[in-house]
Amino acid sequence: MTNETTYDTVVHAGLAGVVASATRISLVDGERGRLVYRGHWAKELAVNYTFEHVAHLLWFGCLPTDDQLLAMRRRMAEWRRLPQHVKTILDVLPPDVDMMSALRTAISAFAGPEFEWPPTPDQAMHLTAVVPTIIAYRFRKLQGLDPVAPREDLSHTANYLYMLRGEEPSSAHVAALDAYLILTAEHGMNASTFAGRVTISTRSDLVSAVASAIGAMKGPLHGGAPAEVDDTLSAIGTKENAEPYLRALLMRGERIMGFGHRVYKTRDPRAAALSEVARRVAGEDPWLDLATHVEDVAVRLLAEFKPGRKLYANVEFYASAVLRAVGLDRTLYTPTFTVARMAGWTAHALEQAEEDRIIRPESLYVGSMPGEMQIPSRTAS
């Protein structure tokens, strides 16, 4: 007698709609345009706090006291310097190895006893602190420039810009980039975060989890730079040209890049926060001044051409504006996204390790069964 089992299985392609984990780290509510980090509105964090404040919140579940913040900043500043073996690895990589691949390789070189399971907040701080140094070291080497050593007296964001440029950044640029890093530090169970959680769920080390996340971030469907927005703003060039350019674009039936979002059905809260920060410092930077003006014109024209659609600037619009304004090369857009997301990835790794359960989804076999395949006969030669 043969027992037959019927499987009533629904395949969720790409795991769309599948809840893989409960989390206390963040809420992404696309229907109502809400983004929450551990009980705090992300927008308010971006406007009122620094990246280090928010990293502490993600790792420890609370905003730091002044003493806690000072202690954390000191520890992270100590971990900014690259070990010699990591510099050697970066030096021998061919110039055509892209930045994300170089970053993934360099991070892997940190594996050692101090990064063994289980992951700890100190490990998270260490890896988050060193990623900007890896990027800046590699970037300046490729430009034929001497690397700039990190400074312990600068904030995480200011030091990143300093190592890239070799000079202290303006307060306006630090404020704008700080807001960008905060708003992209965490965004729920996205592809790279899921990749990191899967790896850490096997009781692998935090270095491996971060390397997995970087590998996912490298893919253009996830970490692709907002270059098309950059192209649009460059083509507009001046405030006076904004309306004629955008109106002509809409009359041709083309999209305005950086407006509308797949998840958010109302205004992207990250764009709203970056817009507020950009408007605060726009007078100090002509590119941000242009971006805020273009947003105003675009929203008005979209309401005229597409009434009822409620299309707003998304995070890519202001990400492009901010990254361009602070002087980052396009090759640094996705790596800088990674600088931000390190805080979120490592926070999720810590949470997954507490759950300590391997992530092991199932698959539905849709191939042939034995006896159903036609086996070609062999002809004697």
CB 208 within 8 A of CB 265: no
**Residues found in the chain:** 381
CB 54 within 8 A of CB 273: no
- Whether the per-residue pLDDT at 236 is higher than 70: the answer is yes
Rounded-to-integer distance, Cα 59 and Cα 30, Å: 24
Which range, of 5-14, 107-116, 121-130, averages the lowest pLDDT?
5-14
Write down the mean pLDDT value for the chain: 89
Secondary-structure percent of the chain, ordered helix, strand, coil, rounded to 5: 60, 5, 40
Residue with tokens 């989804």: 361
Of residues 225 and 60, which shows the higher confidence score? 60
| Whole-number pLDDT of residue 61 | 97
| Whole-number pLDDT of residue 267 | 74
Alpha helices by DSSP H, 252-314: 269-281, 286-305
Question: Which is nearest to 336 in space by CA: 132, 190, 143?
Answer: 132
Beta-bridge partner residues of 73: none
Clarify whether 114 is annotated catalytic.
no
Domains of the chain in sequence order: 42-221+332-355 (1.10.580.10), 227-325 (1.10.230.10)
Which range, of 96-100, 130-134, 259-263, averages the lowest pLDDT?
259-263
Indicate the residue type of 94: P
CB 44 within 8 A of CB 172: no
- Whether the per-residue pLDDT at 4 is higher than 50: the answer is no
| Whole-number pLDDT of residue 2 | 40
Q: Which of 194-198's residues contact partners 24+ apart within 8 Å by CB, and which partners?
A: 194/15, 194/20, 196/345, 196/348, 196/349, 197/20, 197/21, 197/348, 197/349, 197/352, 197/359, 198/359
Which range, of 42-56, 93-107, 355-369, averages the lowest pLDDT?
355-369
Q: Determine which helix (DSSP H) or strand (DSSP E) holds 320, and give its type and residue range.
A: helix 315-325
Tens-place pLDDT, residues 307-360: 878 788 888 888 888 888 888 998 999 999 999 999 999 999 999 999 999 998
Task: Classify the phi-psi angles of 329: left when phi > 0, otherwise alpha if psi is within -120 to 50, otherwise beta.
Answer: beta
Q: Which of 58-64's residues contact partners 24+ apart within 8 Å by CB, and which partners?
A: 58/25, 58/185, 58/186, 58/343, 58/344, 58/347, 59/121, 59/124, 59/125, 59/343, 59/346, 59/347, 59/350, 60/121, 61/24, 62/38
| Whole-number pLDDT of residue 96 | 96
| Whole-number pLDDT of residue 284 | 75
- pLDDT-based confidence at 264, cuts 50/70/90? low
Rounded-to-integer distance, Cα 123 and Cα 310, Å: 43
Residue 14: DSSP 8-state: G
Task: Classify the phi-psi angles of 214: left when phi > 0, otherwise alpha if psi is within -120 to 50, otherwise beta.
Answer: alpha
Choose, from 56, 261, 295, 351, the residue flagged as catalytic: 261
Tens-place pLDDT, residues 41-51: 999 999 899 99
Of residues 108 and 365, which shows the higher confidence score? 108
Please tell me whether the overall predicted TM-score, pTM, comes out greater than 0.85 for this model. yes
Mean pLDDT of 191-216: 97
| Whole-number pLDDT of residue 14 | 65
Token pair in block for residue 215: 């590998």
- Whether the per-residue pLDDT at 217 is higher than 90: the answer is yes
Choose, from 52, 186, 295, 316, the residue flagged as catalytic: 316
- Whether the per-residue pLDDT at 1 is higher than 50: the answer is no
Alpha helices by DSSP H, 61-190: 66-78, 84-92, 99-108, 121-142, 156-165, 171-183
Of residues 25 and 19, which shows the higher confidence score? 25
Which three-class secondary structure state does DSSP give residue 4? coil
Rounded-to-integer distance, Cα 150 and Cα 46, Å: 24
Mean pLDDT of 123-143: 98
Instruction: Give the burial class of 1: count Cβ atoms within 10 A of its Cβ; 0-12 exposed, 13-18 middle, 19 or more buried.
Output: exposed
How many Cβ atoms from other residues are within 10 Å of residue 96's Cβ? 7
| Whole-number pLDDT of residue 269 | 82
Which range, of 138-152, 201-215, 246-260, averages the lowest pLDDT?
246-260
Clarify whether 222 is annotated catalytic.
no
* Most confident of the following: 173-182, 266-275, 320-329: 173-182
| Whole-number pLDDT of residue 279 | 79
